Structure formats: structure tokens, C-alpha cells
Amino acid sequence: MKKFGSIREKTYAIEESFLSPYAAKSQKTRGRSREEEPCSMRTEYQRDRDRIIYSKAFIRLKNKTQVFFSPEGDHYITRLTHTLDVSQIARSLARALSLNEDLTEAIALGHDLGHTPFGHSGERILNRLSPQGFRHNEQSVRVVDVLEKDGKGLNLTYEVRDGILNHKQQLTPSTLEGKCVNIADRIAYINHDLNDAVRAGILKLDDVPAEIRRVLGNTSRERINTAVSSAYKNSVDKPFVELGSEVAQASDELRKFMFERVYFTEFARGEEEKAERMITALYDYFIRHFEQLPPTYVGLNDDYSKEQIVCDYISSMTDRYAVYVFNKIFVPRGWTFIDELN
């Protein structure tokens, strides 16, 4: 039996023996912006995964909206549970295609680190307010490059950063592992957002057009299995990862249905108007009172514009913390009266 100098080297050998020729091998990473001493136990992608899990931005995902603002029920999806859902689906697909699961997992866990409070509503609002615009995938890369560890960043590998940046449907990551996350993100949010809409009483499953249900299935389990199976059959032993045409079309139709019946409903627009008033007030306030930002953010002013840094701060907030800061700044507090009888 061959002996290895480290557990990391043993993992390299396993990858060379068992992964697809189209997989991104850990030993062949394009590396980090700042060179570091290798770990004896973990590959570079495994180190990236661990850094993301222990980051502050990852912890905050538990209190960030996926679709429903600050839901009262215990079982609605949050940005954190969405992230875990994407990770599970992406890893299942990567495993089936003999791709690098560690890289896939790291990309999936980091793909939404830059998301705003109040879900995509918050993203649209900051995009309107900021002169340079705001896109959560780009902000996620900024989080790992600049904002984490008090401005030092996480110094992740090129492949993880590329996958995070290009996880949106219309973009193309440089690795097939990144493409697994790209597809898994779409599979995950369509399915769990549909489940949440049914749980909230906005939809009934029978409202989903029959042709979509015929192709994808009637339950979340069936729809996810259909999508992963389709991607596998269409992509195995090939230099790409794509859904089959029928499943891709049905998935696009389900996404369109969700926009019409859930994401852009009158109720959703009403809640977005409230979020817009709050985020706009916070943005204007911190542009005018920049010195009241936390010191870590103020310290970035030598290298970045105030508008960028204010977006950094607001986008980092959880839903609850955004409400707290808004109340602290704009909502009057009651007087404390002295007992005149004493």
C-alpha cells in the first residue's frame, strides 16, 4: 500500500483516481491572491469551505429573508436553509457526475453571503440607490475578499470565488462544480419557495399548471429528483452540466409562474414598499452621517467610496437588525420621568 506524506496528499491521489477528467482537482487550483502555507490535512477547497462556515456573514444568513419577510412560522425557508438546500442538491449532482464535492460545497455555502436583508427586494432597492448598482453575487465575492475578518477577507481560491460570482442562472462559471451550484440554486429556490407559498396559503399545489407537474412531479422530492436525474443523464461524461431540454423548459415555466403568483403579487409589492422606505432612510442617513458606521466600515474609506461602504453595511444586516437600527435612529423613544414626589 502506498504511503502518503499527509492526509492532503492522500486526498489528491483519491481525486486523481476517481474524479472525472472534467473535475476541478484540488492539487491544480489556480490558488489564492495571497499565498499561504498548505494545510497537512485539508485541501485548499476544504479549507475554503471551513472558512465560509465560520464566517460572520454565513452565521447571519439564518436571520435573512428568502421570500417571506421575517416570517413568524418556524418552518419557512431562510437564506441559511436555502443555502444548505443548494449545497445538498449541488453535492448530489457533483457526486453523480464524479466532480469535486469539496469545491462544489464551498461554492454553494458561499454563494449568498452578500445577500441583503428582505431578500431580493432588498437587492432591488440597493441597486436603485447605489450609483454603482448592487448585485448580490458580486457582493458575495466582496464579502469574502474584503469585508470578512475586519477587512482582511477570507483569501479564498480562484475557483471558489469564480463559482460564487457566477452562480446566477445567466452566468457561466469556469468549473463544472460551479455549474452544479448554478443549477442547484435554481432547483432549490423554485421548489422551497413554492412550498412556502403553499404553507402561507398563497397557493395550492393544484394551481401549478398541469403540464409543469407532469414533467417535474407533484412534490418537492419528485421535482428535485427529476431535475438532478435530468442533469445527470444529460451531462454524464461530458464537459458541461445542463438540464435536459424538457425539464429545463418546465423549470423555466415554473419560475415564471412563481414570479406571477408569488414574487410580484400585490401583497409582495406592498411589503417591498415598506422595505424600500426603511432601506432608503438608512442609506441616506449613513451617507450623511458616515462617521456613525462601525469602525471597520469607516476604515475602508481610504480605498472605497462612501456609497459602496454604506451598501456594504446595509447589505450585511439581517432583517431584524435592519429594523432595530431603523428604530434606533428614526423612532422616538419615550421620556424617562423623574418621580416628582421624592
pLDDT in tens, 161-191: 999 999 998 999 999 999 999 999 999 999 9
DSSP state of 157: B
Confidence band, pLDDT 50/70/90 cuts, at residue 120: confident
pLDDT at 342: 47
**Beta bridge partners of residue 78, listed in sequence order:** 65
> Residue 93 and residue 60: Cα distance in Å, rounded?
27
**One-letter amino acid of 128:** R
Confidence band, pLDDT 50/70/90 cuts, at residue 37: very high
> Residue 287 and residue 300: Cα distance in Å, rounded?
14
> Residue 278 and residue 285: Cα distance in Å, rounded?
11
Residue scoring higher pLDDT (250 or 203) = 250
Contacts of 158 (CB under 8 A, 6+ apart): 29, 30, 31, 32
Q: Are 135 and 127 in contact (CB under 8 A)?
A: yes
Give the pTM. Answer: 0.93
Q: Tell me the residue ranges of DSSP E strands in the chain.
A: none
User: Is the pLDDT reported for residue 263 higher than 80?
Assistant: no
Rg of the chain over Cα atoms, rounded to whole angstroms, equals 22
Q: Per-residue pLDDT averaged across 99-120, rounded?
A: 96
Residue-averaged pLDDT of the chain: 91
- Among the ranges given (126-130, 154-158, 329-333, 338-342), the one the predictor scored with the smallest mean pLDDT: 338-342
User: Is the pLDDT reported for residue 50 higher than 80?
Assistant: yes
> Residue 261 and residue 280: Cα distance in Å, rounded?
27
Q: Per-residue pLDDT averaged across 89-108, rounded?
A: 98
Contacts of 272 (CB under 8 A, 6+ apart): 118, 121, 124, 125
Backbone φ/ψ region at 333: left (φ over 0), alpha (ψ -120 to 50), beta: beta
Secondary structure element (H or E) that encloses residue 149, with its range? helix 148-151
Q: Are 244 and 252 in contact (CB under 8 A)?
A: no
Give the rounded percent of residues in the chain with a pLDDT score beyond 90. 79
Which residue carries 435592519 as its cell?
Answer: 322
pLDDT at 46: 98
Give, to the nearest 10 degrees, the angle between helix 220-235 and helix 79-96: 40
